[in-house]
Amino acid sequence: MKFAFLWLLNSAFMKRIAIWLLMAFSFTAFAAQAQIRKVPAEVTDAFKQKFPNASGVSWKDKLTDWQAKFKDGSTSSYAWFTNKGEWKETDQELTYESLPEAVKDGFKKSKYNEWTPKETASIIKKDQALQYRVYVEKHSLVQKKYLFFDEHGALKRDVQSL
């Protein structure tokens, strides 16, 4: 009996069961990330009021707030709202060339001037000054950082990226 049990564990049958269980677990984990709650009307109404020309809107439930990804004209943007519909932040994707001259000058004068800028965005937060985020890399994928500049081109902080 003991040998029969060991044979069963080593058999192709058990390997198939293990593969099926792994696939079922993976599917369940993927489905768990799907949006369960419906976007509250307060959130969608506030979004429509703030961004009347938005198109291609998609929502992500972030538990404590909601993130909208949308196009405003030809520009990709992200906006965050609380569950009660209060606007928190908007990030608008930019090209490096479209950054204000002061920000480009600040980058050139920073210790990261030899790093390669990859992505840029403007960040508007409730009750805060406008910021610009520049994602930079050095030596391809080895070193990556987010640099945050104010509208005058002063580097306010850098954040290591994974």
Contact (CB, 8 A) for 119 and 136: no
Structural domain containing residue 17: 2-32
| CATH code, domain with 65 | 3.10.450.360
* Whole-structure pTM value: 0.73
Dihedral of CA 47/100/127/91: which sign?
positive
Examine the domain organization and report whether 10 and 51 are in the same domain: no
Examine the domain organization and report whether 50 and 20 are in the same domain: no
Examine the domain organization and report whether 11 and 81 are in the same domain: no
Instruction: Give dist(CA 3, CA 13) in Å, integer.
Output: 16
In tens digits, what is the pLDDT along the chain, a chain of 162 residues? 555 555 555 665 556 655 555 455 444 444 445 558 899 999 999 999 999 999 999 999 999 999 999 999 889 999 999 999 999 999 999 999 999 999 999 999 999 999 999 999 999 999 999 999 999 999 866 789 999 999 999 999 999 887
| pLDDT score, position 2 | 55
| pLDDT score, position 90 | 98
| pLDDT score, position 37 | 83
Examine the domain organization and report whether 9 and 69 are in the same domain: no
The structure tokens 């060339």 sit at 97
Name which of 114, 116, 146, 144 is nearest 133 in CA terms.
Answer: 146
Examine the domain organization and report whether 8 and 79 are in the same domain: no
Examine the domain organization and report whether 80 and 25 are in the same domain: no
* Termini Cα distance of the chain: 52
Examine the domain organization and report whether 73 and 146 are in the same domain: yes
Examine the domain organization and report whether 15 and 73 are in the same domain: no
Examine the domain organization and report whether 83 and 7 are in the same domain: no
Name 125's bridge partners. Answer: 89
Query: What is the β-pairing status of strands 116-125 and 87-94?
Result: antiparallel
As for how many domains the chain has, the answer is: 2
Examine the domain organization and report whether 87 and 140 are in the same domain: yes
Dihedral of CA 44/45/47/51: which sign?
positive
Enclosing H/E stretch for 32: helix 12-32
Examine the domain organization and report whether 154 and 79 are in the same domain: yes
| pLDDT score, position 139 | 81
Examine the domain organization and report whether 47 and 23 are in the same domain: no
| pLDDT score, position 29 | 44
